[in-house]
A and B are shown apart, each in its own frame.
Chain A
Amino acid sequence: MDIELMINSFPKLLNATLITLKLLSVSLIVGLFIGLGFAILRMNNNKLINKFAYGYSYIFRGTPLLVQIFIIYFGLGQIEYLRTTFLWVVLKEPYWCAIIAFSLNTGAYTSEILRSAFQTIKPGYLEAGRSLGIPSKIIFTKIQIPIAIKQSLPAYGNEIILMLKGTSLASTVTLMDLTGVAKYIISTTFKPVEVFIVAGGIYLFMTFIIHNVIKYLEKKYGFQT
């Protein structure tokens, strides 16, 4: 056990954690909007729109995240037309490619979580709201949204943790996130166990915090439905 290496690598790894957190938070926020959009499309009665939304989530949930990042980072640059547009400014940066891939991926999972949350709301609640003469906007914000949040919290908490682990794939497209720096230190010192303990410890600490925040929110929204 090389304690000195563990102490020396800790600040470097902690610094890299910032990139991991940045990737995680940006892609979660973008992914939440994508997920909400596709969840609404999934509940649409039009068959074509419904199929499109289902296809999106099926493709992104059925392929590894690594393939998705590689298609976006290595693949899209091949299209000549894209290189001439403004999109190229975004797509040539590995950071933005990773964010696009993560957002689309978590968006697919989030749309499934939100769809099932909205569908489990008993119709009686909406009917009760309507028969009391409550405007539909308020029914949406004061009845549907709180129940949907309550229903989707446990699953969404898991999704956040999965996404935290997913950000480690950013290291495959040259980004120096927590896993990227950990791999760099391992390959220069050949001390995998020590680095794994420190980097894994940081990841576990983050999962622990996410887990507890979700638990607190579950308690807050823990009303009986």
Chain B
Amino acid sequence: MELLYFGDKGWGDELFFATLMTIAVSITAMIIGFLFAALFTPLKLSSNKFLNTIGNAYTTVIRGVPELLVIYLFFFGGSGAIMFVASIFGYNDYIEINAFLTGSFSIGIISGAYSTEVFRGALQSIDKGQFEAAKVLGFNKYIYFFKIILPQMLRLAIPNLSNVWQITLKDTSLISVTGLVEIMRQSYIAAGSTRDPLFFYSFAAVLYLMLTFLSMQLLNRLETKFSKGY
């Protein structure tokens, strides 16, 4: 237990901040994922064949390739790609991107593919009459989407989105390979310097369990809130 003391003696404070980092990366990745989903869900539902293919390619490739490979692509390729773009604008120095951004972005792309599938499924299972009725009643586009379609879609999507959140939370452990100090990386450092891997990795497992348990409680509450009136 001494190993968990706060301050210089133990690893308590380090692990606490590492947990906050895991939460921060997960939330950022989830939001980036939503942006990707907002972009690709319309493509997947589009009747245009070309746009449709792009949408399908995104979800198929990302969901069919291991997360670790995607992370390596952005970790090794990210700064190269940005330097290439910068060189077009005449900036030729070395650019290093922040590990937090690379990590959140690569996990975000992965989580976006799952979110896209969830939103597509939710939109498709809304009764067709709702779309038609909203159009016939002459609502403008803003009310049509934000007041009629979105609330119904969220109700159907939230149970599956909580699964996506779980996947995203667990995937963040993989960006420890890029050196970002989150739970896994911190445990690795602590295990290396104290030669007590069994304790620190088990403690990491407990931290993850706590995170998944607490977030499930929160999400279940959200789910009952959104399914009000049904």
Chain A residues close to B by CB (< 8 Å): 58-59, 62-68, 70-71, 74-76, 78-79, 161, 164-169, 171-172, 179, 182-183, 186-187, 190, 192-193, 196, 199-200, 203-204, 207-208
Contacts and interface: CB of A to CB of B under 8 A. Distances in A.
B71 to A, nearest CB: 10
B60 A204 contact: yes
Nearest to B184: A66
B198 A67 contact: no
Contacts of B136: none
B209 interface: yes
A131 B90 CA distance: 83
Interface stretch (B12-20, B36-44, B118-126, B170-178): B170-178
Which of the listed residues A64, A190, A207 has the most CB atoms from chain B within 10 Å of its own CB?
A64
A68 to B, nearest CB: 7
A66 B80 CA distance: 28
Interface majority SS (helix, strand, loop, mixed), chain A: helix
Nearest to A201: B65
A187 B178 CA distance: 13
B86 interface: no
A154 B177 CA distance: 32
Nearest to B77: A192
Interface in B172-205: 173-174, 176-177, 184, 187-188, 191, 195-198, 201-202, 204-205
A169 B68 contact: yes
Interface residues of B, number: 38
A134 B202 CA distance: 49
A193 B198 contact: no
Contacts of A169: 68, 174
Given A67-B208, A192-B73, A79 B198 contact: yes
A64 B69 contact: no
Contacts of A183: 72
Contacts of B174: 64, 66, 169
A68 B205 contact: yes
A64 B184 contact: yes
A59 B209 contact: yes
7 contacts: A59-B209, A64-B171, A165-B65, A172-B68, A179-B68, A203-B69, A204-B64
B76 interface: yes
Contacts of A172: 68, 177
A168 B197 contact: no
A71 B205 contact: yes
A171 to B, nearest CB: 7
B177 A165 contact: no
Which of the listed residues A172, A193, A196 has the most CB atoms from chain B within 10 Å of its own CB?
A196
B201 A190 contact: no
A38 B202 CA distance: 23
B204 A67 contact: yes
A63 B209 contact: yes
A176 B156 CA distance: 42
B177 A74 contact: no
Nearest to B202: A71
Given A71-B202, A193-B77, A203 B72 contact: no
Given A63-B170, A71-B198, A204-B61, A196 B184 contact: no
A178 to B, nearest CB: 8
Which of the listed residues B60, B76, B176, B191 has the most CB atoms from chain A within 10 Å of its own CB?
B76
Given A64-B184, A172-B177, A193-B77, A70 B69 contact: no
Contact of B65 (A58, A190, A204): A204
Given A64-B173, A165-B65, A192 B209 contact: no
B66 interface: yes
B173 A207 contact: no
Interface string B66-94: 11110011011100100000000000000
A33 B68 CA distance: 28
Given A62-B212, A75-B198, A203 B205 contact: no
